[in-house]
Amino acid sequence: MFRVRCLPVMAIERVVMVLCLLGGTSGAIEPTYPPPLYSLVFHDDFSGPRLDEQRWMYRTDVKLDSSQRPENVFLRDGRLVIALRKESHRGKSYTGGGVISRAAFRYGYFEARVKMHGGAGWHQSVWAMYADPSTTYPARMRTEIDGIEFDSDLPTKGHMGLIRWRGPAQSRSSTCTPGVYRGPLGFDATAGFHNYGFEWTEREVRFFVDGDLRCVLPYPPEENEHDRINLWLTAIAYQRLAGKVDDSRLPGEMLVEHAAVYQRDVYVDDGDPEYSETGSWEAIGRGGFADAGWRRACDGEATATWRISVPAPGSYEVSIFKNYQSLAGGAGELEVRTAGAEHRIPVSFSDPPPGWNVVGTFQFSGGNEWVRLRRLQGCVGADMLRILRVR
């Protein structure tokens, strides 16, 4: 049975937004695990002889009180082991480590089953952000979702939250546990394995512990660029938050039994690898979906193509995002090419209702499929394409 916890939710530096979002709903929440219509797109149960380096990168930065080493990461008995050691390395007295998925995802349900190390001093996390294994402050950082941040001096507490970055120096945070850094988990996270997961959709992030929905944080696309994010499973020494390192408990281990990502819908933005153009286009810096900019073509023959790879065959609703500026006289044609059919739909950019414009519902197979915009007259725009699973 699916239980709903009632925790306060707020966005720091803004206003208290939501209280007990799902409280009092008599448990009328659809079970996840995975949520309906989601498909498994990334998975590792760590049963191989060694870490699959086609699937994972190692975290290799030096941060706070530890240096992160690939040597600390290995598989044993069907588990990922992240070893925590007292050793001098790159100017630190401790070493930690972690893995980062090579694949990146925009929206989906992310999850890992983890047993935390219990000696004080270690910050252990299941989280997601753009991947640069050598730093957690890459210049292009945008979306950070912290599914669980666990500080080992308080083994029955954890933190869930969201950080909207605009580069390393500028951020806004939302948290499920305002006022304190950590909230009650309801168990000792160092005594056994638990599932830590979060579902990221176009407008919010929903945090789960062992299938219980614990918290919902709004994250509307108007607020920031919604980046593609990689899954991180990591442990570092952090004595300011996690207490002085308990050397008597070292070497220690953070253990992971499985990690998975499920997806339901497909979003392809201009600038993503699945997007391509012919003809003459210019970048428009602001006003696109999630404020990430869009593209405009006003002359000659011009096409924009979004290649589609749906997570599972099914029926999907296709929408294009039209921007807030009208493109006077602009008109084009959308070609929706699925494995089974080709559809051509006229599209006007003269007086667009701003936001999502539904093109239609089509059957996608997961094969070589695409949506292509062809300019016919005036100026046309290309931004995010959305493919929502309907059934």
Binding site for Ca ion (CB under 5 A): 269-270, 288, 292, 294, 383
Residue 85: strand pairing partners: 95
For residue 254, give the nearest of 368, 113, 352 by alpha carbon.
113
Residue 294: strand pairing partners: 284
Distance, in Å, from the CA atom of 186 to the CA atom of 209, rounded to the nearest integer, reads: 10
Between 156 and 280, whose beta carbon lies closer to Ca ion? 280
Q: How far is the CB of 263 from Ca ion (least distance, A)?
A: 19
Distance, in Å, from the CA atom of 217 to the CA atom of 203, rounded to the nearest integer, reads: 9
Between 132 and 269, whose beta carbon lies closer to Ca ion? 269
Distance, in Å, from the CA atom of 174 to the CA atom of 297, rounded to the nearest integer, reads: 38
Residue nearest to Ca ion (CB): 288
Distance, in Å, from the CA atom of 183 to the CA atom of 169, rounded to the nearest integer, reads: 27
Between 11 and 302, whose beta carbon lies closer to Ca ion? 302
Burial class from Cβ neighbours inside 10 Å (0-12, 13-18, 19+) for residue 91 reads exposed
Between 285 and 353, whose beta carbon lies closer to Ca ion? 285
Q: How far is the CB of 145 from Ca ion (least distance, A)?
A: 20
Distance, in Å, from the CA atom of 67 to the CA atom of 87, rounded to the nearest integer, reads: 9
Spatial contact of 235 and 149, defined as CB atoms under 8 Å apart = no
Burial class from Cβ neighbours inside 10 Å (0-12, 13-18, 19+) for residue 86 reads middle
For residue 183, give the nearest of 212, 143, 204, 220 by alpha carbon.
212
Burial class from Cβ neighbours inside 10 Å (0-12, 13-18, 19+) for residue 25 reads exposed
Q: How far is the CB of 288 from Ca ion (least distance, A)?
A: 4
Residue 12, both tokens? 């720091």
Residue 87: strand pairing partners: none
Between 120 and 388, whose beta carbon lies closer to Ca ion? 388
Q: How far is the CB of 291 from Ca ion (least distance, A)?
A: 9
Q: How far is the CB of 294 from Ca ion (least distance, A)?
A: 5
Between 113 and 296, whose beta carbon lies closer to Ca ion? 296
| Four-residue CA torsion sign, 200, 101, 223, 23 | positive
CA distances from 183 to 154, 215, 266, 272 (A): 10, 11, 33, 37
Between 225 and 369, whose beta carbon lies closer to Ca ion? 225
Q: How far is the CB of 269 from Ca ion (least distance, A)?
A: 4
Q: How far is the CB of 114 from Ca ion (least distance, A)?
A: 34
Q: How far is the CB of 287 from Ca ion (least distance, A)?
A: 9
Q: How far is the CB of 295 from Ca ion (least distance, A)?
A: 8
Between 292 and 347, whose beta carbon lies closer to Ca ion? 292
Between 250 and 388, whose beta carbon lies closer to Ca ion? 388
